[in-house]
Amino acid sequence: MIQATWIRIDHLDAPMGFGSRTPLITWNVEGAKKQSARQICLYEGDQLLWDSGKDGSDAMQMRITDCIFSSRQEISCRIRLWDEEDCAGDWCGTRWEMGLLLPSDWKADWITGNYRARKQKRYPVDCFRKSFFVKNVKKARLYLTACGLYEAELNGKRVGRFVMAPGVTDYRRRVQYQTYDVTDLLSGGENILTVQLADGWYRGGCGALGQRNQYGTETKLLAQLEITAEDGSRTVIASDGSWQWSDDGPIRFADPKDGEIIDAGRIPGYGGRAKATSHPVIPSASDNVPVWEQEHFVPKRSTAPNGKLLLDFGQNIAGFVRFRASARGGAQIRIRLGEMLDKEGNLTLSNIQVNLPGVCSPLQEIRYTCREGLNEYRTRFAVFGFQYAEVDADADVDLEEMESIAVYSALERTGWFRCSDEALNRFADAAVWSAKGNHLDSPTDCPTRERLGWAGDAQIFFNTASYFFNYAAFSKKYLRDLYDWQKPDGKLPQIAPDGGVLLPMKPLDGSAGWADAGVLIPYRFLKRYGDTSVLTEFYEGMVQYTEFVIRRIGKKALYAKPLKIPKELRRFAVNTGASYGEWAEPADVYPTSFFETSHIHADISTAYTVCVLDCMAEMSGLLGKETDSKRYRYLASLCREAYQAMAETAEYTLDTDRQASLVRPLYFDLLTEKQAEYARKRLLQALENYNWRLGTGFLSTPLILDVLSGTDPDAAYRLLENRELPGWLFMAESGACTVWESWEGPFAQEGIASLNHYSKGAVCEWLFSTMCGIRIEGQNHFRIAPQPGGHFTFAKAEYHSIYGKVASEWHRTEEGTVFRVAVPCNCIAKICLPDGRTETTGAGVTEFFCAF
């Protein structure tokens, strides 16, 4: 019988404290070939709130725009489908709960510790306490947020699973709150709510130098506990000046990058009172997935050459440490965490630490003073990027247990890849781990050195991330971060949420390939999820950004080299606006140095201008804005002509061994036919000259295999299979369990040697889209065009798309290649086989055979 499964509300699973008034309901179909009609009903308790009626559509998503939702409503959502024979299935359902939708819902005051915070000083974690009496509790919700990081307990029990809450935003513009069901934590009589408040991103270390006070100096907390009694009456326990406060608790220091200093013998006295303060922003629900503790790893222990205890957790992660130790009161434990060992075999942080006079960041250490007896520690307010720990403990400390705990946003896994080459499997796993290590409420470049929401990295990795994970809610939250920053002239940032940008980096806001994320991510989101809300929410901002980009056309920065192309074409080249360029190519292709790399790149800027205009032309067309669409298309064609002229000059010649300079114009379709033909051949020559090793940086790494497989699939495989430096499989063969920032990995060019940077893992998109050939073509439609090749004897990808689970695998036999394709219910796939056959299949598993 037909039924709706995998029902999601704005891509979330049964959200609590949901903020959207126009939720998108999506589902998959099971138990039938086709969905011929659907009906959605929303209830609050037994009361019907909204009924779509039976509507004869096969779409597996419906946005509800005409139901009036109110704060705190508990909605039960029921879906009924009809199959191809018009037989109705059973009702299936999910639920969600609305958060606080109106500013007037907030009764609580912002509170802060009772001290005057100074910028230069560091402070211990604040401890707040509120005691209250309740009886006959039917339901209780705690709405909680902070400028800083909070962790709450009710009657000594941890509230919720969210860690590093409330997540990261530009707190000056947006503060997101969480909603917890705390009904079961309350008891009749006296109850005690305690909350710890730490610096977090708000005033703790951000960016390469661990700059502090990025968003403010006074950390603060907002808490509202709403208790509904059996008789329906509601009591509100709200943060205010009556809350007890002290800062004498065990956490003496907490910094998100540097770590924690704990004095376990301390117990907060709560001897003072909280101070009421204010914040200009009304908190909103993030409608993003929560951040949770995830996998735990037990280490292998050994003694390092320096005599210290060395722990190898076996996986490079971003996360916490947990231990149990029996000790004498006052005994010391010092733990330093890092990604690698030096030549001698001792822990080193040299690949991730910035060391300048007066600055050393990140420290990644825990300093722990034991209490007498059993000590139990879990990190709360810091996240470390590490695989190894060096433990320096007093002789009488008995470290009984130690674990590392991965901490990341609870993105649902949606993509799996396997093939006959274990090195490629390991690389794909490394990319997944780098994704896990760099998605903590916001995407980051790495979890160590900078730990910033670099827009370039996020756009580069979007397609890969959204194969591996249900990425919709997360990426939408990131788009909000980007657009929260937008300047009146339309400019978008290099990093979002704002923060961590050093003075010399300021001119790089608006950087081509980085700021373009504001258009490229919505465009890819739309293709992936068929969810037009990105247009509703961000189109205006995108137009403003596009105008910003358009204003750069024809301009030349004072210090830019003049372009040697005809004047009438120069008017359409972009020779202004500093950008990061290709970034992090192999050292012998183009050495990376900040000052040399981050200047004007007329070719890259012109190319990305075309790319932005092309995406905008398509998206505005979709919205029926024909005038906009025509204008963008026209401008793109003029910029293309300018690019074509540039490609004939010595400066930007296509006669180059620099792979990125050939891949980029080919991928963005910038060249004349003749130039393209030349560039394709020249790319093969460039690869040959570089021994079929990879020479691209951040921007073109996700593009190169696509470009090659378009004309010469063997060449794509030859490059993929390369096991020498630089190459994807070189990383895997070198034991990388996360993706390196630089091709050279731990031996990288100075300063860019993080071992957990997902950007170069963006090639995984190709494993799904081309090697196994799974692409979404539109609503309920796939195109499956697997492209076997190289030495691979089998490959298999499964992808739980928005329209259901689709899979494609192939394996070689003596006689030829067998293809197996699984298409989800209610969907159609056009299968394109390498022998030129095309077939259209509906739901189910189908096998095909090709004689080669």
- Could you list the residues that contact ligand BGC (CB under 6 A)? 445-446, 450, 454, 456-457, 580, 583, 757
Q: In what order do the strands lie in the sheet with 3-9?
A: 3-9, 24-30, 61-63
CA distance 147 to 567: 53
What are the distances in angstroms from CA 145 to CA 122, 148, 180, 259, 415? Answer: 21, 9, 11, 22, 33
Nearer to ligand BGC, 79 or 762 (CB): 762
List helix spans (H) across 90-199.
none
Nearer to ligand BGC, 191 or 438 (CB): 438
**Nearby residues of 787 by Cβ (< 8 Å), 6 or more positions away:** 709, 713, 716, 770, 771, 773, 834
Nearer to ligand BGC, 514 or 799 (CB): 514
Nearer to ligand BGC, 369 or 579 (CB): 579
List helix spans (H) across 364-471.
422-437, 455-468
Nearer to ligand BGC, 168 or 446 (CB): 446
Q: In what order do the strands lie in the sheet with 794-801?
A: 415-419, 794-801, 804-812, 817-823, 844-850
Closest distance between ligand BGC and the C-beta of residue 583, in Å?
A: 4
CA atoms within 13 A on the CB side of 300: 6
Closest distance between ligand BGC and the C-beta of residue 343, in Å?
A: 25
Nearer to ligand BGC, 15 or 443 (CB): 443
Bond preceding residue 702 cis, omega within 30 of 0: no
CA atoms within 13 A on the CB side of 810: 28
CA distance 433 to 413: 12
Closest distance between ligand BGC and the C-beta of residue 354, in Å?
A: 10
Nearest to 290 by CA among 8, 15, 6: 15
Q: Which two three-digit tokens encode residue 629?
A: 């669409």
Nearer to ligand BGC, 79 or 512 (CB): 512
Closest distance between ligand BGC and the C-beta of residue 519, in Å?
A: 17
Kindly give the pairing relationship between strand 415-419 and strand 794-801: antiparallel
**Contact (Cβ atoms closer than 8 angstroms) between residue 703 and residue 667:** yes
Nearest to 24 by CA among 50, 58, 56, 61: 61
Nearest to 122 by CA among 253, 275, 272, 310: 253
Closest distance between ligand BGC and the C-beta of residue 297, in Å?
A: 25
Nearer to ligand BGC, 580 or 740 (CB): 580
Q: If you ran DSSP here, which 8-state letter would residue 454 be given?
A: B
Nearer to ligand BGC, 325 or 446 (CB): 446
Q: Hey, what amino acid is at 708?
A: L
Could you tell me where the beta strands, DSSP code E, fall in 662-801?
A: 774-778, 781-784, 794-801
What are the distances in angstroms from CA 565 to CA 365, 649, 651, 662, 667? Answer: 55, 7, 11, 19, 23
Closest distance between ligand BGC and the C-beta of residue 476, in Å?
A: 21
Closest distance between ligand BGC and the C-beta of residue 726, in Å?
A: 17
Nearer to ligand BGC, 446 or 542 (CB): 446
Closest distance between ligand BGC and the C-beta of residue 379, in Å?
A: 23
Nearest to 480 by CA among 174, 725, 136: 174
Nearer to ligand BGC, 393 or 460 (CB): 460
CA atoms within 13 A on the CB side of 46: 0
Nearer to ligand BGC, 226 or 450 (CB): 450
Closest distance between ligand BGC and the C-beta of residue 639, in Å?
A: 23
Nearer to ligand BGC, 695 or 713 (CB): 695
Helix, coil or strand: residue 711: helix
Closest distance between ligand BGC and the C-beta of residue 650, in Å?
A: 26
CA distance 380 to 306: 29
Closest distance between ligand BGC and the C-beta of residue 757, in Å?
A: 6
Closest distance between ligand BGC and the C-beta of residue 508, in Å?
A: 8
Closest distance between ligand BGC and the C-beta of residue 644, in Å?
A: 27
Nearer to ligand BGC, 185 or 512 (CB): 512
**Contact (Cβ atoms closer than 8 angstroms) between residue 479 and residue 442:** no
Is residue 637 within a helix (H) or strand (E), and if so which, with residue range? Answer: helix 626-646
**Contact (Cβ atoms closer than 8 angstroms) between residue 33 and residue 826:** yes
Closest distance between ligand BGC and the C-beta of residue 604, in Å?
A: 12
Closest distance between ligand BGC and the C-beta of residue 594, in Å?
A: 8
Closest distance between ligand BGC and the C-beta of residue 584, in Å?
A: 7
CA distance 826 to 209: 52
Helix, coil or strand: residue 765: helix
Nearer to ligand BGC, 64 or 168 (CB): 168
Closest distance between ligand BGC and the C-beta of residue 457, in Å?
A: 5
Q: Which two three-digit tokens encode residue 798?
A: 């499964």
Count of beta carbons in the 10 Å neighbourhood of residue 593: 12
**Angle at 633 (CA atoms; ends 627, 638), nearest 5 degrees:** 125
CA distance 195 to 144: 10
Closest distance between ligand BGC and the C-beta of residue 446, in Å?
A: 6
**Contact (Cβ atoms closer than 8 angstroms) between residue 347 and residue 388:** yes
Q: Shortest Cβ contact with ligand BGC: which residue?
A: 445
Nearer to ligand BGC, 175 or 505 (CB): 505
CA distance 521 to 609: 15
CA distance 289 to 17: 12
Q: What are phi and psi of 329, to 5 degrees?
A: -55, 130
User: In Å, how far from its chain's centre is CA 406?
Assistant: 15
Nearer to ligand BGC, 150 or 583 (CB): 583
Nearer to ligand BGC, 220 or 760 (CB): 760
Kindly give the pairing relationship between strand 259-263 and strand 365-369: parallel
**Contact (Cβ atoms closer than 8 angstroms) between residue 701 and residue 694:** yes
